[in-house]
Structure 1
Amino acid sequence: MDTDLYYGTYDVRDAMALAFFGVYFIIAMAIAVLVIVATWKLFVKAGKPGWASIVPFYSTYCLFQISFGNGWFFLLSFVPCVNVVIFFMLYFKLAKAFGQGGAFAIGLIFLNPIFMLILGFGDSEYIGPV
């Protein structure tokens, strides 16, 4: 008697893998929608159009404009090795632009979706680039 779980053309392990990746996909899409909504609210707080959060390069330009005051710094994000430093600076300046401290910037770096939700839906106000 064969002890392998094999039914027809599909293996039970294939079904379990498909179920795992299906649940993973649903969770990832939910997080993506939450981040888009949070970024939308953040842009509206900063006086930018909310729809800019769903346009790929324009959203990055607006985020740099909110943080630095000059949106063209986003071009530095295309330079290898410089992009890591510029995004750290972006999140620190974004936290300062909303009146938050360095610890909040660390949160933006490591737990971005959660802290973007806090910025978007929280009571922090946009001060402007520091």
Structure 2
Amino acid sequence: MSTFLTVPLTDAEAAAAAGGVVVALILGLVGYVIGCLGLMGVFTKAGQPGWAAFVPIYNTIVLLQVVGRPLWWFLLLLVPGVNLVAMIIIMNDLSKSFGHDAGFTVGLVLLTVVFTWILWLGSSTYRGPAAAAASPQRPAYA
């Protein structure tokens, strides 16, 4: 038999807790929209539909298409630990797809929201999927 200690909340404490939850939800929603707006700008510069940035799983699939990685890389993003390495590679590909170097990749990894806005609003132009250009082409056998 287990016993739980319950502490009754006063009306003011319950209202404060509910208010804290509402504030956290609003801040989370604002953060999500700000992040998606930057990604939307990146997608539109890359010739993809901007609305795709707001759809949670589909935006990752579109990002993989923008950088030229195969869609099975989405599965890598589901594996703990592997997803960190895969996302760093994807951010590097995104940086190269817009003509930037490793320094910009570090910015994308550490401050993704800020650097996607820089890609969107800055003078960067989409140069095509960097991963597809870097991968060796298999010879066509007749």
TM-score by length of 2: 0.72
Distance 1:27 1:116 in 2: 20
* Percent of matched pairs sharing the same residue: 37
Distance 1:78 1:25 in 2: 25
Question: Post-superposition shift, 1:73?
Answer: 2.1
User: Greater CA deviation, 115-124 or 71-80?
Assistant: 71-80
Distance 1:79 1:34 in 2: 27
Query: 2:70: which partner in 1?
Result: 70
TM-score by length of 1: 0.78
State whether residues 61 and 74 of structure 1, in contact with CA within 8 Å, keep that contact through their aligned partners in structure 2. Answer: yes
Larger relative helix fraction = 1
Q: Aligned to 2:77, what secondary structure does the other structure show? A: helix
User: Greater CA deviation, 29-38 or 99-108?
Assistant: 29-38
Q: CA-to-partner distance for each residue in 1:48-103, whole Å, 9 max, x for gaps?
A: 11111122221101101111353332222123322111111001111110111111
Return the letter of the residue paired with 1:123. Answer: S
Two-structure CA RMSD over aligned residues (Å): 2.2
Query: 1:60: which partner in 2?
Result: 60
Question: Post-superposition shift, 1:30?
Answer: 2.0
Query: 2:138: which partner in 1?
Result: none
Return the letter of the residue paired with 2:10. Answer: T
Query: 2:95: which partner in 1?
Result: 95
